[in-house]
Amino acid sequence: MKTKFFFYLIIAFSLFYSCTKPMQNKVLIIGIDGCRPDALISASTPNIDKLWKNGAYSFHTKTDDISYSGSCWTGMLTGVWHAKHNVLSNKYLDPNIEEFPHFFNRVKTFNSNLKTYSITHWSPLHTILQNGDADIALDFDSDQKVTNEAVKVLLHNDVDAMFIHLDDVDHSGHSSGFHPENKEYLSTIENTDINVGKMISALKKRDHYLNENWLIIISTDHGGSEKTHGKNTPEHATIFYIVSGKSAAKGKIQTQVNIVDVAVSAMQHLGLDIKDEWNLDGKPIGLIH
């Protein structure tokens, strides 16, 4: 009888502890390269739809005037436009990462114990990482391999901030055309949604998920038209921003959203004090204040 009593006592204590333990804020950013927002809306994407319909969103977000991947992803991950980070193409000739580093750098300065992961399908994205910014920085030659690794990490590793880059949609746009009526392009977006679903499922299966407050941000670097991009036109420079989780405000974001807001929103959720001296261009957006 006593054994049974102590068993139930332990269960009750465990439940009490799990309910009273402070939530740990964590961030997952999924970047879908070259995904036009109008094409995302046209495609069948139940996993991504669930996120924006239960979170904050803008399908009229602005990316960098230089709508090339290098410039845009750097803006997303540093929180500043190309005039400051100095990545003017996909060649990363002279990035100004000393003054305007990857947001992982600021996260590590804030708390060196926080675990940061970057898993990409385009290795140049890691050019702006400085030594120690990422606990793990991996690149693969397919979205499926990126997804498999992300799932494995989310299931088995201590993660505080993770950036995932998927590239198949951009490849499809370059080969068949960036257009919301292009069936091949839409099909690739739909396959990408399946990969997003796998990652979200893995996240929710984490051992301590109930004590974690995940902010999920999904966005892209640029759009496109015909088989190219790089111009400052609505088709090329209009992107989407989706933020989901307990700390996300619900509904359409009424103010202007920019790609540089992604890193700043992630940092605020992780508890960083956004300092004026950092001279960032982005702002936290789509979060409950």
**pLDDT tens profile 242-254:** 999 999 999 999 9
Share of the chain above pLDDT 70, in %: 93
pLDDT tens digits, 140-194: 999 999 999 999 999 999 999 999 999 999 999 999 999 999 999 999 999 999 9
pLDDT band for position 289 (cuts 50, 70, 90): confident
More confident residue, 247 or 289: 247
* pLDDT at residue 180, as a whole number: 98
| Contact assessment for residue 63 and residue 75, using Cβ atoms and an 8 Å cutoff | yes
> What DSSP element (H or E) covers 139?
strand 136-139
| Contact assessment for residue 192 and residue 167, using Cβ atoms and an 8 Å cutoff | no
Q: Please give the mean pLDDT across all residues of the chain.
A: 94
Note the CATH number of domain 24-278: 3.40.720.10
pLDDT band for position 22 (cuts 50, 70, 90): confident
pLDDT tens digits, 257-279: 999 999 999 999 999 999 999 99
pLDDT band for position 15 (cuts 50, 70, 90): very low
Give DSSP secondary structure letters for 196-256: HHHHHHHHHTSTTGGGEEEEEEEE-S---BTTB--SSSHHHHEEEEEEESTTBPPEE--S-
By CB neighbour count within 10 A (0-12 exposed, 13-18 middle, 19+ buried), where does 145 fall?
A: middle
> Is 20 a residue whose pLDDT tops 60?
no
The torsion region of residue 48 among left (phi > 0), alpha (psi -120 to 50) and beta comes to: alpha
pLDDT band for position 19 (cuts 50, 70, 90): very low
pLDDT band for position 12 (cuts 50, 70, 90): very low
